[in-house]
Structure 1
Amino acid sequence: MHYQNKNITVIGLGKTGLSVVDFLLTKQANVRVIDTRANPTGTDKLAANVPLHTGSLNQQWLLESDIIVISPGLAVKTPEIQTALSAGVEVIGDIELFCREANKPIIAITGSNGKSTVTSLVAEMAKASGLKTGMGGNIGIPALSLLNDDYDIYVLELSSFQLETTYSLKAISATVLNVTEDHMDRYVDLEDYRQAKLRIYENCQTAVINSEDPLTMAESIKNAVSFGEDNGDYWLKTEADGSQLLMAHDSPFLPCSEARLTGRHNQMNMLAAIALAQGAGIKNTGILTALREFGGLAHRFQLAHEANGVSWINDSKATNVGSTVAALNGLQVAGKLYLLLGGDGKGADFSELAALINESHIYCYCFGRDGKQLAELSAQSQLFDTMEQAIDAIRPRLEVGDMVLLSPACASLDQFSSFEQRGEIFTHLAKCS
C-alpha cells in the first residue's frame, strides 16, 4: 500500500495512536490527529508539524480524509464516522495497517476470556523453539511498533473492537477462545459482538475452535481443529488415579502436573495454545518448554498474599461475567470464600453468576457503579461504595482456610485508572492484613 501524500486522519492518541502517526510519517502521508478528550495523553510525544484537534470529532477533517485510522475505543457506528463512510472515506484500524505490511506469519487470538494468557503462552512457545517472536496488539506494545524489528513470527491478541476495522488479516492459525457477554454497551446484542470476533477466522490457514462453545464456530471455516475437555482434537484425559493429561489428538502431550498453570480454565487455555502453536509449525520441544515454565499473568487469578491460613487472590483482569464464571468453576476453598464483585458492568447481564455464588460458603462484597445489581444476586451479599470499604468489612471475619477473591466481573474505570491499578490496590490492602 502507498500512503505518500494521502490525507490521513488518525483518531485517538496514546501509545497506539502515536504508533500509527509514526508509521504514516515514515510513509510520507499528510497526517492529522483527532482526540475527543480535551487533554489526551501523548500530546507531548506528537511531532510538532502534525495538526491536532481535541475535545470533539472534527467532521470537516474527517470528510477531507482519504483514510481514517480509528481508535479501537471509538465505534464505527458513531454518526460522524458514518457520515465519512457515506462520503466514500476508507475507515480502518491500526491492525489493518499492520496486516498490510507484515510479511511473516501471524498467530491471532481473540475471545471474551483467556486471550492474554493464551497470547503470552503461545509467544513463549515460539521463543522457546528458537523463533524471534513479536507479541503485541491488544497486549504489550502496539502492533505497528513490531514492524521496527525483524521478527520470524508475530503473536497478536486482538479485541473485537480491533477486528471490526481489520480486513487483510491472513493468520497462519487463529482462534476465538470463547464468546460470553461483554461490551454490551457497544454492541446491539451478543450476536453482533460474536460476529466481530469471528472476523479473525477470515483467510486463516488453521482455525482453532472451542468444542464446548458453539458461538466460536462459523460456517465459513475451512480448516479447523478443536479443543475441549472431553470432545476435541486437543483434549483433557483423566486417568483412573485422577491424574490428568493434555492430549494432542490421540497422543499424550504433557501431564498436567508438569505444567505451571493450574485450574480448569488454564487447562483449556493450554490446549488452545498447543493447537495454535502446532498449527503454526512451532516445534513441540518449544511448546513443552513453555508449558513447563510459564506461570501466568499478573492480575489473572494470581496469589497476591497468603497469611494466617488465608489466601488473597487477585483476579482483577476478570472484567466481564464470563471471566468470573471461569474463576469460580471448580474452585476449591477449604473455608469460606469472600468474593469481591463490582465496577462498570458495561451493560452485561449478571444473572449467570447467581447459580455459582448462591452457596452457603460464599459471601459477596459488592462495590462500584454496578455493585447494587450484583448484590441483588445473592442473599449473602453486602454493598459498599468502594473496594477498600468492602475489604475492611471482610478482614475481621477471616479464619484459617478462607479465601478472599477479587474477581469483579466488571471493568474498573468507574473508580480506577485500569484493572492493573485495581489489582495493585487489592494486593496492597491484602498485605496490610
Structure 2
Amino acid sequence: MTHLSEQNMASSIVIVGLGQTGLSCVRYFLKQGIVPVVVDSRDVPPGQDELPAQVTLYKGGLHPEILLQAKQLIVSPGIAIATPEIAAAQQSGVEVIGDIELFVRAAKAPIIAITGSNGKSTVTTLVGEMANAAGVRTAIGGNIGIPALDLLDVAEPYQLYVLELSSFQLETTHSLQAVAATVLNVSDDHLDRYPDFEAYRQAKLSIYQHAQTIVTNRDDALTVGAEQDHDGDTIKQSFGVDDAGYGLIQQQGSTWLAYQGKGIISADDLQITGLHNLMNALSAIALLDAAGVDRIKTLPGLTQFTGLAHRCEFIRKLHDVMWINDTKATNVGATLAALDGLKSSVKGRLYLIAGGDGKGADFSPLVPALRDDIALTYCFGKDGERFAALADNTKLVGDLDTAIAEISQLVQPGDWVLLSPACASIDMYVNFMARGDHFRALVKAL
C-alpha cells in the first residue's frame, strides 16, 4: 500500500489529474505553504516536467489508497467524479472539488459566469473585451485561456472576473455566487460522459445557484430550470430574437440590438455577423448590465470585436467562393447555429464538411438543414458513415484532404464552403484547433 509522506499527511491535499489545470492547482497550494501530491492515471502525464521537485507524482493509475487518505481531492475537469476510485473516496468523507471551487472561495472581485453547449468562448471573450474597454480591469479564464487560479496571482488585483465554465467544471463547483450567470443554450453534447441528456443539462443549470442575476435564452427553454422559475430573490433577464427584454428591433432600415424595445446599437456597426452572433452580443450586454458596468462605455469593445479563431472564421475568398472554418462546432447544436446564422448570406450553394467523433450524439436534428439548405455534405471520420446516412445529398470520404480537393472542383462563384463538423476531432486530430489549422492550410493552398 502506498502511503502519503508525513509532510503531505499534514495537508492531505491530492490533485487528481495533472495538465495545465493540475499545475495551476499545484502553484496555488505551494503559495499557501501547502505541498500537495498529484495522482494521474496516465503513464506520461502532460506537465510532469514542470512539476516542482517537492511535489510527489503518482502515475499510471488513480491509486485509491492515496485518495482514501486525503482530506480533499482537487479533480481535473477531464475526470468524471463518478469514476469508481473518486466516488469511493467521496463516500468515505473526502471532499471532492475542482479548481473553480478553489478559485471562487479565494476571489475578491465579482464573477460573471458563462456556460452553454455553444458560443461560451465567444461570449466570455466578448464580455471581457467590452468590460476592459469600459475601463474595468477584467480577467477572463476558466475553460478558456488562463487557468482560473493563475488569475489570482497578479500584482494589481482585477476588478471583475469573467469565467467560461464547462459542465465538467460545474460538477465540482458549489460556492459560486456570480454577479451574473448565463446558460446560453443547451444541446446534445458529452453524452459519452453523462447517463442521459437531462443529467448534462442539470450540470449546466447549476451555474445559476446563488447568482444575483440570471440571463436565460428566450429561444431555448432548456436554459431555464424549475428552480429559477420559483426563486424570488434572483433577478431574471433574458435574450432572444424578438423585441422583449434584450432582443432585436427594426429601426432606421436595419436590425438593432435593443433592451425593452429601445435601440442600443445597430447590427451594421458590428464586425461579427450571423444571427447567432447577434445573440452572443445581446447576452454579453445583458451580463455586463447586470454587473453594473457602464453600457455606453462597453460598446467600443463590441464594435471592435472580430470573433474567435475556428468559430465561423473567414479563411479565404477565392474566385468569389467563401471558405469558412467552424471547426469549434463539436456538437450538433453548434453546427445548426452556424448554418442558421450564415445561410442568409449565401448567394449561391452551400457545401458542408462534417464528421468526426459524435460522442454518442443524435444527429437527426440536422436532417432538415442538410436536406433543405445544403447542396452537398462531405462526411469523414469515425462517425462519417452515420452522418452520411442522414440524407441523400451526402458523400463519405476518407479525410479532409479529399473533401477539399473534390469541393474545389465543384464550387461556382457565389458558393460557400463551411467546415462545421458537429463532432469532436479526437478520432483524427490532437484537438479541434489542429483540425481547423489543417482546413486553413488546405484552403490556402488551393
Q: TM-score, normalised by structure 1?
A: 0.97
Task: Say if 2:396 is the partner of 1:383.
Answer: yes
Partner of 1:354: 367
Task: Say if 2:234 is the partner of 1:218.
Answer: no
Residue type of the alignment partner of 1:296: G
Q: CA deviation at 1:86?
A: 1.1
3-state SS of paired residue (1:135):
strand
- The structure 1 residue matched to 2:57, chosen from 52, 59, 66, is 52
Partner Cα separation in structure 2 for residue 360 and residue 4 of structure 1? 61
Q: CA deviation at 1:5?
A: 3.4
Between 1:222-231 and 1:271-280, the stretch displaced more is 222-231
- The structure 2 residue matched to 1:263, chosen from 239, 263, 274, is 274
Residue type of the alignment partner of 2:149: L
> Which digits, 9 at most, give the CA deviation of each residue in 1:140-193, with x for residues without a partner?
100000001211110000000000000110100110001111001111111101
> Which digits, 9 at most, give the CA deviation of each residue in 1:399-421, with x for residues without a partner?
21111110000111111111111
Partner of 1:125: 130
Give 5+ residue unaligned stretches, structure 2.
Answer: 1-7, 229-233
Q: CA deviation at 1:232?
A: 3.4
Partner of 2:177: 170
Partner Cα separation in structure 1 for residue 190 and residue 307 of structure 2? 25
- The structure 1 residue matched to 2:144, chosen from 139, 143, 146, is 139
The answer to whether the 8 A contact 2:332-2:422 is kept is yes
Partner Cα separation in structure 2 for residue 282 and residue 362 of structure 1? 45
5 Å-filtered alignment, 1:112-261, equals: 112-149=117-154, 150-221=157-228, 222-230=234-242, 232-239=244-251, 241=253, 243-261=254-272
Partner of 2:4: none
Between 1:120-129 and 1:210-219, the stretch displaced more is 210-219
3-state SS of paired residue (2:382):
coil
Partner of 1:312: 323
Partner Cα separation in structure 2 for residue 319 and residue 233 of structure 1? 30
3-state SS of paired residue (2:222):
helix
Partner of 2:287: 276
Partner Cα separation in structure 2 for residue 361 and residue 68 of structure 1? 48
Partner Cα separation in structure 2 for residue 361 and residue 36 of structure 1? 43
1:189–1:361 CA distance, 2 compared to 1 (3 A) = closer
Name the count of aligned residue pairs.
430
> Which digits, 9 at most, give the CA deviation of each residue in 1:111-140, with x for residues without a partner?
001101110110011101111111100001
Q: CA deviation at 1:239?
A: 4.1
Between 1:394-403 and 1:88-97, the stretch displaced more is 394-403
Q: CA deviation at 1:329?
A: 1.0
Partner Cα separation in structure 1 for residue 184 and residue 424 of structure 2? 20
- The structure 1 residue matched to 2:83, chosen from 73, 78, 83, is 78
Partner Cα separation in structure 2 for residue 214 and residue 411 of structure 1? 25
The answer to whether the 8 A contact 2:350-2:373 is kept is no
% identical equivalent positions = 50
Between 1:333-342 and 1:189-198, the stretch displaced more is 333-342
The answer to whether the 8 A contact 1:211-1:232 is kept is no
Partner Cα separation in structure 2 for residue 256 and residue 336 of structure 1? 25
3-state SS of paired residue (2:170):
helix
- The structure 2 residue matched to 1:365, chosen from 378, 384, 387, is 378
Partner of 1:12: 17
1:353–1:176 CA distance, 2 compared to 1 (3 A) = same
Q: CA deviation at 1:361?
A: 4.8
Partner of 2:307: 296
Task: Say if 2:342 is the partner of 1:335.
Answer: no
Partner Cα separation in structure 2 for residue 285 and residue 383 of structure 1? 50
3-state SS of paired residue (2:161):
strand
> Which digits, 9 at most, give the CA deviation of each residue in 1:370-422, with x for residues without a partner?
11111011111111221112212222112211111100001111111111111
3-state SS of paired residue (2:372):
coil
Residue type of the alignment partner of 1:305: R
Partner Cα separation in structure 2 for residue 327 and residue 232 of structure 1? 24
> Which digits, 9 at most, give the CA deviation of each residue in 1:204-252, with x for residues without a partner?
11100111111111233321111111153100012484x1010012321
The answer to whether the 8 A contact 2:243-2:261 is kept is no
Q: CA deviation at 1:104?
A: 0.5
Residue type of the alignment partner of 2:200: Y
Q: CA deviation at 1:16?
A: 1.0
Q: TM-score, normalised by structure 2?
A: 0.94
The answer to whether the 8 A contact 1:4-1:27 is kept is no
3-state SS of paired residue (1:329):
helix
Partner of 2:419: 406
> Which digits, 9 at most, give the CA deviation of each residue in 1:49-74, with x for residues without a partner?
21112221111111011100001011
Partner Cα separation in structure 1 for residue 128 and residue 86 of structure 2? 35
Q: Say what the alpha-carbon RMSD is for the aligned residues.
A: 1.4
Between 1:336-345 and 1:358-367, the stretch displaced more is 358-367
1:172–1:361 CA distance, 2 compared to 1 (3 A) = closer
The answer to whether the 8 A contact 1:15-1:142 is kept is yes
3-state SS of paired residue (2:227):
coil
Partner Cα separation in structure 1 for residue 445 and residue 91 of structure 2? 57
Residue type of the alignment partner of 2:238: S
The answer to whether the 8 A contact 2:243-2:249 is kept is no
Partner of 1:418: 431
Q: CA deviation at 1:360?
A: 7.0
Partner Cα separation in structure 1 for residue 397 and residue 17 of structure 2? 35
Task: Say if 2:40 is the partner of 1:35.
Answer: yes
The answer to whether the 8 A contact 2:244-2:259 is kept is no
Partner Cα separation in structure 2 for residue 238 and residue 327 of structure 1? 23
3-state SS of paired residue (2:427):
coil
